[in-house]
Amino acid sequence: MIYAANFKTNHTRQSTQKYLEALSEKLHTKKTEDKVYIFPPSTALDVYSGDFTIGAQNAYPAYNGAFTGEIGVEQLDEFGIKTILIGHSERREYLLESQEKVAQKFSFFQEQGFEIIYCIGEPLEIRQKGFDAVMEYLPAQFEGIDVTYENLIVAYEPIWAIGTGRSATVEKISATHSALKKEINDKPLLYGGSVKLENLKEITGITGVDGVLVGSASLDADSFSKMVLS
């Protein structure tokens, strides 16, 4: 299983350090086949030791240059970071990242050999139209994306389940994941959207779910480590 923690705009450099110290102590007993990823805010990126991989929530598709407010590969290289989240719905929605921009970013980081966790997900109005509408909507988020890329992990995060405390039902996750698996050549597929200790087992027990991408419930090191070790 893959357990990925997306801190979003939470935690400071200091609290991330404390979190990762606490987490790495707990992870001594983790199953070797399980993988843990942490995506802290960019001000907290650094070299940390522990049985986890640190990734960037975002970066600009350039090595360096005149891109005010952004970080590029040079800043990630300093900490040996080779993992990145691309296409998160919050960036698509609030930062107005179009599919074209997302695809450009993907191609750039693919060329750089990054491991990419590529996020897709439908809004509520599409889900309300039913499964066929969802399966028309989601494939459009693979436009310009090389789904054969060897370092690709996909995360399905229905927007209506993010931060709401209510995850998608087992039936919806199961149906969507089995349809998506065909689109993505059986690449690892995570589910995200209100995953917490209480619903973790039923979600990770679904065929076609290879792990979880966790927001709110990952912010506390103790809770997140309980999820990883459960």
Nearest to 3 by CA among 171, 217, 214, 165: 214
Q: Which residues contact 91 (CB under 8 A, 6 or more apart)?
A: 58, 97, 102
**Structural contact between residues 153 and 117, judged by C-beta atoms closer than 8 angstroms:** yes
Nearer to ligand 13P, 55 or 215 (CB): 215
Rounded CA separation 180/227 (Å): 25
φ, ψ dihedrals at 120, nearest 5°: -135, 165
- Least CB distance from residue 210 to ligand 13P, whole Å? 15
- Least CB distance from residue 81 to ligand 13P, whole Å? 17
* 177 counts as catalytic: no
Q: Which amino acid is at 96?
A: L
- Least CB distance from residue 7 to ligand 13P, whole Å? 9
* 88 counts as catalytic: yes
Query: ∠ at Cα 179 (103, 212), nearest 5°?
Result: 70
Nearer to ligand 13P, 113 or 163 (CB): 163
Rounded CA separation 67/60 (Å): 8
Residue ranges that bind ligand 13P, judged by CB under 6 A: 6, 88, 157, 162-163, 192-195, 213-217
Q: Which residue among the candidates 88, 97, 122, 177 is catalytic per the annotation?
A: 88
Q: Which token pair is 74?
A: 């040079």
| Residue 156 Cα distances to 9, 13, 57, 114, 212, angstroms | 20, 28, 16, 19, 9
- Least CB distance from residue 68 to ligand 13P, whole Å? 26
Nearer to ligand 13P, 78 or 220 (CB): 220
Nearer to ligand 13P, 61 or 193 (CB): 193
For the annotated catalytic residues, the residue numbers are 88, 157
